[in-house]
Structure 1
């Protein structure tokens, strides 16, 4: 079981370094039209932290992050209409996830690794982190999963998404201010936080991302592991 709440403040990456983020990304759709993307980072330059991106049926994009430092970093890469700094807590017990990020509460369960997950796990870690390999799989990922593996982001950053493991989300309950947002459905239409998206089918992907931070310009490269 893992449990992470807000991380200590004041741990901003230094320019010229290549900070590393290790964790998970989950994408979930609801019958109300709201889509939720959870980033759960066990290791990062900010310490362990989680953030939640929400897009409503009306297109309003909200970021919930546990500190001003993490909020600024995420909002510097993706596009939001509103950013809130709130406690974001994630608890994992086996295949069951519980997420609290006021005003949002999320519970979901994952299933056994499917054929896609098995195929992704067969890719050696060093190969999966290479931008050339990730770029090679951009078109197949768009056709098969409805998600891109790389693309331009804000502030001159370029993001690379590799994938080495995937578990389907088989059940989910999402509440906003205590009200249910409806049954679990595919993540459609795609979220509009940036060039990347999540797979069409609700799932959890384990991710390792490196971010090269330079003065006046940043480039993001990443891979799921």
Structure 2
């Protein structure tokens, strides 16, 4: 069985060491939702999920030290995004398409989201974007495939955690440790179709 999640993944770091990965999924087996994975400077990994159902699925696919269920709201206004999720208040601006984004757009969508294609380009992805994987094994015997369709850089961000400013936009370093791979080191927004094959 393959579950298909169609949407966007934003990954960014902050000067204070907090790293956040936002999944915004207008189309998924769980309905439309947004979730956030956070790794704090000390290494604590936290999932902020909008429902128990999302928490169970995402928590069963990735690895976290803590899972919190509560409202997760995303608002998109052109290039500006805002995400509010419990202790996290996040706003960022999407910049121009990255050179790799132009290459990704040139691949027909049907091919770009096929598991065989995604598996074939995994070696290339790792070479071009250290820490990034397009396929791998997840928790619970699941396999994941990331079919990237576009890529934009982020130009600025404002991040608050429990009311404390986390500083300016920074690379995603060290890589996040929720699953088999990280987001690109450079803060970015990826248009993606994620496939999760369950045993």
TM-score (norm 1): 0.85
Counterparts of 1:143 and 1:182 in 2: how far apart (Å)? 30
Counterparts of 2:35 and 2:175 in 1: how far apart (Å)? 19
Measured after TM superposition, the shift of residue 44 of structure 1 is: 1.3
Aligned residue pairs total 198
What does residue range 32-111 of structure 1 map to in structure 2 within 5 Å?
32-111=16-95
SS in 2 for 1:112: strand
Which stretches of structure 1, 4 residues or longer, exceed 4 Å deviation after superposition? none
Measured after TM superposition, the shift of residue 77 of structure 1 is: 0.3
RMSD between superposed Cα atoms in Å: 1.2
State the Cα deviation string for residues 163-214 of structure 1 (Å, max 9, x = none): 110110110011001111111111011000010210111101112223344x
User: For structure 1, which runs of at least 5 residues remain unmatched after alignment?
Assistant: 1-16, 218-225
2:169 is equivalent to residue 184 of structure 1: yes
Aligned to 1:197: 182
Paired residue for 2:106, among 99, 114, 122?
122
Paired residue for 1:155, among 115, 119, 140?
140
TM-score (norm 2): 0.96
User: For structure 2, which runs of at least 5 residues remain unmatched after alignment?
Assistant: none
SS in 2 for 1:211: strand
State the Cα deviation string for residues 22-60 of structure 1 (Å, max 9, x = none): 111000011111100000000112211000000011110
Counterparts of 1:54 and 1:197 in 2: how far apart (Å)? 12
State the Cα deviation string for residues 62-102 of structure 1 (Å, max 9, x = none): 00000000000000000000000010000000000000001
SS in 1 for 2:148: coil
Question: Is the 1:145–1:201 contact (alpha carbons within 8 Å) kept by the matching residues of 2?
Answer: no
Larger proportion of strand:
2
SS in 2 for 1:170: strand
Q: Which structure has the larger Rg?
A: 1
SS in 1 for 2:147: coil
